[in-house]
Amino acid sequence: MSRVLVVNTGSSSIKYQLFEMDPQKVLASGLVERIGEAGSKLTHRAGDAEPLVVEERVTDHSDGFDRVFKAFENAGGPITDLAGIGHRVVHGGDRLTAPTLVDDATIQAIADQAPLAPLHNPPNLLGIRIAMASFPETPQVAVFDTAFHQTMPPRAYRYALPADLAGELRIRRYGFHGTSHAYVSRKAAEHLGRPAGELNLVTLHLGNGASVAAVAGGRCIDTSMGLTPLEGLVMGTRSGDLDPAVVFYLHREAGLSVDDIDDLLNKRSGMLGMAGANDMREVARLVADGDEAATEALDVYCYRIRKYVGAYAAALGRLDALVFTAGIGENNDAVRAGVCQGLEGLGVVLNAKRNKGRPKSPRTISADDSPVAVLVVPTNEELEIAEQTLAVVRG
Ligand code: ADP
């Protein structure tokens, strides 16, 4: 039993990868999109074969999983030899602080966190329930996006709110993208040939959602996302940090409701709101065409990251490496250059030539004499979930 199926069940999607872990290899992967909507489809890829695309009405998540299992039978063979199934779960709150074998108590605990992640935890749980019914003999493991950040001290995770209210409603900073921050911190240490326990890192996960973590000796001591993924950096469609009074002002002056403001700050702000495009490739095209709004938005984007790097260098006391990852961190050298610009005083010196391109494996992009190493480390959240699942299953 050396295979692990990794499942990420969203509100309208199911992403999956089947790994052989010994030796490590992706056997198949795929995605069911737009579940319950017009234009729903399944894309399944087995090994190096051409992807199998099935465009059909996928009515609900159960139907979606049935189609995934059927796709395996049609391409790659049925799913056998499973050591475990690993599920991505967004919010573990402050109780679920490590990958956990799923039993009734875990299910209840994930359900208890649902008010903190109403769009994510219920579909995550649905995926777990369906997988348990389909593979009753196979251990299921929940891996939490928040877990890596549970080592933050109170000075980093507390908001300055009345203690009783914050305690009762569990209002504090949790942080997200933990699986990615954990994976790239470990890979960065391997790449540098130094024990993770000796290194102080700032990891920058820059995808559609984006977050920074300060990692001291392999443990997270601070991160930019908070109670929800809205806090922190400028993102594709999220505003990131904002004076909370903007919310009251929007309500009073523009007559927006709480739901309107939620939608505005999560789905219509960030790069989309400022530049008119949330995809950084589109923003880059606009900048190249001389578009002023896009140019300014990109400047805001990089400046916000730079401020966090400075803040986290102070939080860590000493910075050994700055690590870029995810869609933008791995592929956009202009953003990497924009972030590092002016950080020489903190010991961050980029090598322009090394910074070019899209490395597919960990690469150093700083100058030889840069006191702080700057790295690009491609993330792989699925593999991290598979490894953590196997570790839990094998005890
Ligand atoms: P998600 O948070 O949805 O997983 P990703 O990590 O895929 O997001 O990041 C999406 C962002 O990465 C987009 O803004 C996109 O422009 C950028 N990106 C992805 N691939 C490339 C590429 N090959 N070249 C430049 N930018 C890319």
Q: Is 316 in the pocket of ligand 1 (CB under 6 A)?
A: no
- Is 145 catalytic? The answer is yes
d(CA 22, CA 29): 17
Does ligand 1 come within 6 angstroms of the Cβ of 208? yes
368-395 burial, b if ≥16 CB within 10 A, otherwise e? Answer: eebebbbbbbbbbbbbbbbbbbbebbee
Taking only the tens place, the pLDDT of each residue in 249-266 is 999 999 999 999 999 999
Of the listed ranges 23-37, 46-60, 193-207, the one predicted with least confidence: 46-60
Q: How far is the CA of 95 from the centre of ligand 1 (A)?
A: 32
The pLDDT tens digits of the residues spanning 343-374 come to: 999 999 999 999 999 999 999 999 999 999 99
SS3 assignment, position 4: strand
In the set 60, 145, 291, 320, the catalytic residue is: 145
Q: Which two tokens stand for residue 106?
A: 């875990």
| CB 329 near ligand 1, within 6 Å | no
Tell me: the pLDDT tens digits for 144-174?
999 999 999 999 999 999 999 999 999 999 9
Question: Which of 280, 286, 336 to mutate for ligand 1's pocket (most ligand atoms within 8 Å of CB)?
Answer: 280
- Express each pLDDT in 6-23 by its tens digit: 999 999 999 999 999 999
pLDDT tens per residue, range 269-284: 999 999 999 999 999 9
pLDDT tens per residue, range 103-123:
999 999 999 999 999 889 999
Angle between helices 292-316 and 333-340 (to 10 degrees): 60
Report CA(326)–ligand 1 centroid distance (Å).
7
Q: What is the pTM of this model?
A: 0.95
Residue 322 has pLDDT above 90, yes or no: yes
In this predicted structure, the answer to whether residue 221 has a pLDDT above a threshold of 90 is yes
* 53 DSSP 8-state letter: E
- Number of Cβ within 10 Å of residue 141's Cβ equals 26
In degrees, rounded to 5, the angle at the alpha carbon of residue 125 between the alpha carbons of residues 120 and 127 is 100
Tell me the CA–centroid distance for residue 102 and ligand 1, in Å: 32
> Which residue's CA lies nearest to atom 20 of ligand 1?
327
The residue whose CA is least distant from atom 19 of ligand 1 is 327
